[in-house]
Structure 1
Amino acid sequence: MRAKVADFGLMRLAPEGKGSIETRIAGTFGYLAPEYAVTGRVTTKVDVFSFGVILMELITGKKALDDNQPEESMYLVTWFRKMFINKDSFRKVIDPTIDLNEETLASVSTVAELAGHCCAREPYQKPDTGHTVNVL
C-alpha cells in the first residue's frame, strides 16, 4: 500500500493560470513521464502518464519497472506498447488471474487502449484527466 507514482496530483498546487510548474525530479522510476524526466516541468499530462502506467499494471499484473526481466520487457510501458499492437499477443499480456470472458476482454481492451493513450510519447498526444475519467 505504498504509492509509487511521479508527482501525482501536484498540478493542483500550481498558481492560477499557469499550465505547468517547475520542480526537482521526484517520484518512482517507471512512473515518470519522459517530458518530466527531461524538463522537470510538471503538468497535468505528467499525472495522466503515471495513471496510465497504473492501468497497465492492473491489466498485466506486472511492475512498472522490473530489473528481473530481460531488457526488452524491463520497462512496462515500452513492452506494453509492443504487445498491444498485435491482438494475438495482447491476450498474453493480460494478468492470468483475471477470469476472461468476452465482456471482460472488451472492458480490458478499452482500459488498455486508454492506458496506451495516457502513456503516449508526446504530451499533446495524451488525453486530459477529464477524458480519462469519462472513458473509465
Structure 2
Amino acid sequence: MPIHLNHTIVHATDKKRSAQFLAGLLGLDVQPQLGPFLPVTLANDVTLDFADAGERPIVAEHYAFLVSEEEFDVVFGRIKEAGLTYYPDPTLSRPGEINHNDGGRGAYWADPDGHVLEILTRPYGSGSRTGTPSE
C-alpha cells in the first residue's frame, strides 16, 4: 500500500473559528465534530483536524494548498474581500504582493492563530522561478 498523508492536527484557540476561517476561504465545508476535532477535508481526502489548544501555547505552522489557476482567482478574491493581508513569501515580508514562482502564482496569509497559510498554482521546483512579486 502506498503511503499517504491522512490527517494533521491544527491547534487553535477556537477550533470552530479557525476551521470556519479556512473552509470559508477555500470553499470547503467544516465536517461534523469527530471526538475533539473539527475536520476540514481536502479534495485528496486529507483532513485538517482542528483542535482547541487549551492551555498549551500555539506554535505557528505552515499549511500549503495546491490549487488550479481558476481556484487561485476565487480563493485570492475571498482573501482580498475579507481584507486579509497577503504576502509573496512565508516570512510575510512584503504585504500586498504575490509571487510567480515556477511560472505559477502563490500567496501567503495568516490565520487567526498565526498559522501561515498558502495557496500556490505550481508545485515548487516544477518550472521557472521568476521571483517577480506582484498583485
Name the TM tier (shorter chain).
under 0.3
TM-score, scaled relative to structure 1: 0.23
Structure with the larger RCO, 1 or 2 (CA within 8 Å, 6+ apart): 1
TM-score, scaled relative to structure 2: 0.23
Greater strand proportion: 2
